[in-house]
Structure 1
Amino acid sequence: MAAEEQTRTAAVAGPPVTGYRLLLPGQWDQVPLRQGTEEAIRRILVTAFSRIPDDAPQDKIGPYKRELERRFRAAVAQAQEGKALDLYLPVKPTADVNLGASIVVSETLLPRHEQGAGQTEPTEVAVQLLSRDGVDNADLSSGEIDGALAVRREHVADADPARDAELASRRVEYIIAVPDDPGRWFVAAFSTVGGGDPRDELADALVEWFDAVMATFRWRRG
Structure 2
Amino acid sequence: MLIPASFVASEPLEAPAGNVEPEAVLIDLARDAEDASARELDGTAAVRTLRKLPADPEKGVEVPSWRVQYTVPIPRSVPAHWLTFSFSTLAAPDMDIEFTETLVELFDAVMTTFRWSYA
Structure 1 equivalent of residue 83 of structure 2? 186
Structure 1 stretches of 4+ moved >6 Å = none
SS of 2:117's equivalent in the other structure is strand
Matches within 5 A, 1:70-109: 97-106=1-10, 107-109=12-14
Residues of 1 paired with 2:82 and 2:96: CA distance? 29
TM-score (norm: length of structure 1)? 0.46
Structure 1 pair 200/110, CA: closer, same or farther in 2 (3 Å)?
same
Identity within the alignment, %: 38
CA drift of 1:110 comes to 1.4
Structure 1 equivalent of residue 99 of structure 2? 202
TM-score (norm: length of structure 2)? 0.80
Which runs of 5 or more residues in structure 1 are unaligned?
1-96
SS of 1:208's equivalent in the other structure is helix
Which runs of 5 or more residues in structure 2 are unaligned?
none
Residues of 2 paired with 1:116 and 1:197: CA distance? 48
SS of 1:125's equivalent in the other structure is helix
Residues of 1 paired with 2:52 and 2:118: CA distance? 34
Aligned counterpart for 1:116 among listed residues 12, 19, 39: 19
Structure 1 pair 143/196, CA: closer, same or farther in 2 (3 Å)?
same
Matches within 5 A, 1:31-42: none
Decide which structure has the larger Cα Rg and report it. 1
* Structure 1 or 2: more strand by fraction: 2
